[in-house]
Structure 1
């Protein structure tokens, strides 16, 4: 089990979205949860989001996977990287690296990206708009981080698939060794390249943009057929300027626009559904034959476990703990099963030990577990 050597509470107070920093020995005696060969295997899978980036002699190339054996057979000795997004969705060992950060809001967590680079390998200088903890695994990597972007960094396109900037003056210029962590808030330019064959693990946190909130809310309103009404104004009067939008009419239209934004229940359900959806593909596989409530009961009663799919978001609002949002769906749970709702949002496993006999014996709980298993959100090995 991985354990941070720092207090996340103290870190958030001093650094979160304030300034980049290096945490030397952030993980003591760090051991890589995945081998380069296993990572290469993931890049060969159709469902996995992977990339290959090379910069030999400053000739930048980038490709998206999946890759095959021929790709690995023809690689040069230096200046290339393989990158896998959402590796925590596809590799159990890699998923363990996320657990030390689980005291942070689940809806903010994006994914664990893993990079394997040989000497000189990297993706070039760039700026991200999310928070990231970059954990150094095997090998060493040289990192440079500059001052926050205030519009002075010029973008360059060395390859159409790469968003890079030309150059920046470094305020952090350090070599990371196994167990070290580099934290970079949004907007800070950075560049890292391997000094020797090395692994890097990026634990990323990303909040939605204002554009996403507005766009997704509009989609939610349409999907639920809310607001399917026109403006009615029986007290309409003539006006002397045919092209004028009166202040009164504008106020009426704005009131229509704001109506659902002022509806607390609609906003809560929208946010729960949107924030519970992952940005990356999940390993959701419905069982080949549907489980019955009796199957679920006997499985749990025997002491066996039921596991949440890696990376699946299960959320609830602080004021409504009995409404659970799972991958964009909403599930209402009876008031007497609040502890079960909390189990779904805070635990990765449903079992007799953490749920207790009261849950196992409750038909509503068993019925919901059965539904979640048949949707592929939870599974039994």
Structure 2
């Protein structure tokens, strides 16, 4: 298969400076050699599987109907001439060729990656004018799709009444392009857009980048702090003085109470550890990626000595935080590993690429070997069978 993973004629620095989270950008076929990594029948097959999130959107006149998967195989034969779209989430977790698309976007931090959603539409199919709260690159895989973009939106933007879809009540396009296979459109958060298939066999790869809301961060971090607090850690006022009015909550009491909260919430190192675990938590935790048989340390050491390559599970999430010279905290699928020396260097390399060549030097580090054994047992990495 041709290598579709690298972008050419695309200036990353200019993009980050002038477009990222600022304005849309049309990029005409920037791939070295575009090759559609997934066939429509394979996508339909994924939509029939219970552990895969999928949706079917059918447009009938001015109305929209949404069906949630898993879809029965015969459903596709029942679809008539009305425009329809099939959307399948996290296809990169199940199809390595789709996961390989992410390699072209590694100039964006790992923790920002959400997933690769793939859609298939017949002529006129789409999901209607809408906006998202995340960055997305829309890569045309097969066929053609007309994209129209509009104004910036927010939570106050009026939506049509619909139980399942967030469709814009008023969409005024300000730009329009038809994308051919390999073409790509970047859309920042909040920008209205509408994509409609032009002809049949239209496949689009939506590479989404998540951004946590302030509410998500506050709720998650506060819940983590609460879990560490002792029941007898309470407000005390041994120097209490008589108040003129007992109904007043004094400034001194408020200062003490606020300090009790702030002291715990402002623990930066504890926040960093929590966020590393939070940001790498599995997207689909109900799926068990553990190998059928646990790894045997002696066999792992032998493979390392032979220079066997390690492959990251496409569904796994890897990030690290530096903790000082030669030390990092590695976060994989919501788990934290403290690494230094050889294991820290290995952790950094592992986070940088989806395939990692090993060498015999790793067998000389008990910490690095133990880390690999643990990651193998989690199903987060595997040795290349080839």
Scaled by the length of structure 2, what TM-score is found?
0.92
Contact 1:133/1:204 (CA < 8 Å) preserved in 2? Answer: yes
Q: Where does 1:71-110 land on structure 2 (aligned, <5 Å)?
A: 71-110=75-114
Aligned length: 377
Specify which of 260, 266, 273 is matched with residue 269 of structure 1.
273
Post-superposition Cα deviations, 1:142-186, rounded to whole Å, max 9, x if no partner, equal: 1111121267742012x4111111222111111111111111111
Match of 2:377 in 1: 374
Match of 2:351 in 1: 345
CA distance in 1, matches of 2:32, 2:372: 38
Structure 2 counterpart SS, 1:47: coil
1:67 equivalent in alignment to 2:71: yes
Cα deviation, residue 57, structure 1: 2.2
Structure 1 counterpart SS, 2:330: strand
Contact 1:277/1:327 (CA < 8 Å) preserved in 2? Answer: yes
Match of 1:322 in 2: 328
Specify which of 354, 364, 367 is matched with residue 361 of structure 1.
364
The 3 A distance-change label for structure 1 pair 17 and 356 is same
Match of 1:17 in 2: 21
Instruction: Show structure 2 runs of 5+ residues with no match.
Output: none
CA distance in 2, matches of 1:208, 1:369: 30
Specify which of 4, 7, 23 is matched with residue 7 of structure 2.
4
Specify which of 126, 129, 132 is matched with residue 128 of structure 1.
132
Cα deviation, residue 28, structure 1: 5.2
Match of 2:193 in 1: 190
Post-superposition Cα deviations, 1:72-106, rounded to whole Å, max 9, x if no partner, equal: 12111340011111111111111111110012111
Contact 2:276/2:319 (CA < 8 Å) preserved in 1? Answer: yes
Give the RMSD, CA atoms, in angstroms.
2.0
Cα deviation, residue 219, structure 1: 2.1
Contact 1:283/1:310 (CA < 8 Å) preserved in 2? Answer: no
Match of 1:162 in 2: 165
Greater share of strand residues, 1 or 2?
Answer: 2
Cα deviation, residue 225, structure 1: 4.1
CA distance in 1, matches of 2:305, 2:342: 21
**Structure 1, 360-369 or 223-232: larger mean CA deviation:** 223-232
Match of 2:259 in 1: 255
Post-superposition Cα deviations, 1:193-223, rounded to whole Å, max 9, x if no partner, equal: 1011201111111110000101110221233
Post-superposition Cα deviations, 1:322-371, rounded to whole Å, max 9, x if no partner, equal: 21111221101233433112123223234xxx332211232221111111
Structure 1 counterpart SS, 2:349: helix
Structure 1 counterpart SS, 2:143: coil
1:34 equivalent in alignment to 2:44: no
